Structure 1
Amino acid sequence: MNSLGLSIILKMGCICSRETILINSRKYYVLEHLGEGGFSTVDLVEDAHTHKTYAVKKIICHGEEDLKVAMKEIEYYGLLKHPNIIECFDSALKDRPNPVLNSISEVMIVLPYYKRGTLAFDLERRSVHREYMNASEMLNMFLHICEGVKAFHEAKPNPLAHRDLKTANILISDDQSPVIMDLGSVAVARVKICGSSEAQQLQDLASERCSMPYRAPELFSVESYCMIDERTDIWSLGCILYAMCYFKSPFDAVYERGDSVALAVISGNITFPDSSPYDPEIHELILYMLRVNPMERPYIYSVIEKTLDVISKIEVKA
């Protein structure tokens, strides 16, 4: 056999051996495994017909409650249409009982693929050489994140909260715009807690779905009689802006040391590096969001207004 014939056979063999995914009669080739969380995996795929690349999120459902949460996530993609919130191109539910994974079904969601990755990835790269973001560009990016969050908080018929806002859940588009992803933790924002059982239930859910270094204090220790609202996201935004300045959340170091993040968060003791390249107004904006008492914390409208004010002051100084 000549070398050309062999190369064709090898190429055909390579195509045939590719893992494929079928979603609503559309075939995708799996190119790469991008990552996984506690409830899902994400693959980079190529549409077999158009050759466009996408990210496919697979959610393994171990029971009816998991399935309900996954279907709710798909519903939220349809409800939340905003340039700073990730869109969903397609989705499918497949009944796939798997005794090994102890699962009853699998939900697949076709999402856009952002080759620049996440804000967390960008900050990790910057941290190596202490490459600080330009203050004005940083605040404008943060403003777009806030605009995305506002879409959650203005959702109808009920305001929604993302509940897991963090740098790893913000993608960066080709034009440097931030895009909020992972709607798996999204919930109705305003929850009235009546009794210790309801409080424990919400606390358990938060510990399962809300990342510790970005989690609001009221979700670490939920009171038996209280009101939880969308301002849980405002705390997370304060942690995100801090990370945009100094590469990590103010509570990441505590988490990495293995110390109590809950105690650190509830104490609300936020410090800034002595050699900070940023104006005091930016620190004030961060502290404005990181108020331990949720009733003293601003709503998203006030955060946007204050961010615009800080941007104008910085631009005047420049």
Structure 2
Amino acid sequence: MTIHYVDGYKMNALGLSTLLKMGCLCIRESIDINGIKYVVNERLGEGGFSCVDLVEQTSTKKKFALKRITCHSIEDQKIANQEIMYYKKLKHPNIIQLIDACIKGSADIVVQTTSEAYLLLPYYKRGTLHDYLTVRQSSTNYLDIREVLRLFLDICEAVKYLHNYSPEAIAHRDIKVANVCLTDNMDPILMDLGSCTTAKVQICGVQDAQKLQDLAAERCSMTYRAPELFHVESYCVIDQRTDIWSLGCLLYALLYFKSPYDIIYERGDSVNLAVLSGNIFFPDNTPFPQELHDIITFILKVNSAERPFIEDVIDRVTNFKRQFEFAV
């Protein structure tokens, strides 16, 4: 006998048919993760490789975010497993924590079967920093400088944890306002570890360069992507300072609601050329001091060798914060 789950309750085919005839049935998908059942309430978002649903545990009614990754090949499944591994080993108050995970099915491109990875994560009802900034932008309601500095420094601490991870530094590779959740207390939580990787990568030849460039095009958001990932040199070393570039774009967004290159993209101009030019436009009419603009230009160095490491960024911002508070 087939058992269906309706709003978390078991129901056989006869009961299901009866409710359908009555026209009073709202069927919600039920998912089992390691023996615990959840029902899907709504879709929160979709990306190129995954989607995120709001789910509810049937026994406690507690809500969670469920990331679902469809794997079409063994390689896809390996990437999903790697993401789960990063979630499990990274423990920091400003990095999202994995609650549970499993992979169901078997991915095989030859016989055209897929598997699905389920990653159960905390649900932050405030949404993302992108959501928060979008609402404020609609009324040109700039953040207070103290709030800008608090949010940015907390995000920097999460990045510092990644970059100083032992035994090997980790780069996030997709830092952006849409990948920062906000808690009820407005604390920033860095999320989406699907792009995380070993920070230092030695590129030895055209094939290595093209492979990394293609991967960056897939997994690193264009308007936050570091210049060295747009055109990867055939013989070079890529390191964690790809994240520093993204942090510079994020700090700009904290001031003016969007990355400086979101504006270029929306105009239909070449983000690639704009990034490589090194030119950053700051509004003439601004409530923010020149020192904050100077910090952004200090971070957004096109040549990665001239770009600061995370400790330098934190020191520079902390010093400005100290001076600002003293002046006030």
Check if 1:126 corresponds to 2:153.
no
Label 1:204 to 1:103 Cα distance change in 2 as closer, same or farther (>3 A). Answer: farther
**Contact residue 60 and residue 103 of structure 1 kept, 8 A:** no
* Count of matched residue pairs: 309
1:112-123 equivalent positions in 2, closer than 5 A:
112-123=122-133
Question: Aligned-pair distance for 1:317?
Answer: 2.0
1:42-100: CA deviation from partner (whole Å, max 9, x where unpaired): 1000001111100000000111111111100010011110010000000001015699x
8 Å CA contact retained: 1:215, 1:235: yes
CA contact (8 A) 1:90 1:109 kept: yes
- Which SS does the other structure have where 2:260 is aligned? coil
Counterpart of 1:84 in structure 2: which amino acid? N
Structure 2 contact 74–108 (Cα < 8 Å) conserved:
no
Describe the shift of the 1:14–1:146 C-alpha distance in structure 2 as closer, same or farther (beyond 3 A): farther
Determine whether 1:227 maps to 2:237: yes
- Are 1:48 and 2:58 an aligned pair? yes
- Name the SS of the counterpart of 1:65 in structure 2: helix
Give percent identity, aligned residues only: 55
| Residue in 2 that maps onto 1:208 | 218
Give distance in 2, aligned partners of 1:213 and 1:81. 28
Could you list the per-position Cα deviations for residues 101-154 of structure 1 after superposition, in whole angstroms to 9, with x for gaps in the alignment?
x55211100000000000011111011110000001111110000001111111
CA drift at 1:16: 7.9
Render the CA deviation track for 1:131-183: whole Å, top value 9, x for unaligned: 00000111111000000111111112210100000000000111110000100
Q: Which residue of 2 aligns with 1:39?
A: 49
Which residue, 150, 157, 176 being the options, matches 1:147? 157
CA distance in 1, matches of 2:80, 2:25: 31
Q: Is the 8 A contact 1:43 1:57 kept in 2?
A: yes
Q: 1:4 maps to what in 2? A: none
Change in CA separation of 1:14 and 1:214 when aligned onto 2, cut-off 3 Å: farther
Q: 2:322 aligns with which of 307, 312, 318?
A: 312
The RMSD of aligned alpha carbons is 2.0
- Answer yes or no: is the 8 Å Cα contact 2:74–2:107 preserved in 1: no
2:181 & 2:250 partners in 1: Cα distance? 13
Q: Match of 1:289, as an amino acid?
A: I
Deviations 1:189-216 (A, max 9, x none): 0001010110000000000000000000
AA aligned opposite 2:185: D
Match 2:72 to one of 62, 65, 68? 62
Q: Is the 8 A contact 1:57 1:109 kept in 2?
A: yes
Determine the structure 1 residue equivalent to 2:12.
none
- Residue of structure 2 in register with 1:199 after alignment: 209
User: C-alpha distance in 2, partners of 1:199/1:153?
Assistant: 22
Unpaired runs of 5+ in structure 1?
1-8
Q: TM-score, normalised by structure 1?
A: 0.93
| Match status 1:281 vs 2:285 | no
Q: CA deviation at 1:314?
A: 1.3
Partner residue, 1:25: 35
Structure 2: runs of 5+ lacking an equivalent: 1-17
Distance 2:31 2:292 in 1: 46
SS at match of 1:46: strand
Letter of the 1:116 partner, please give it: R
Equivalent residue for 1:108, pick from 118, 121, 127: 118
**Residue aligned with 1:251, SS:** helix
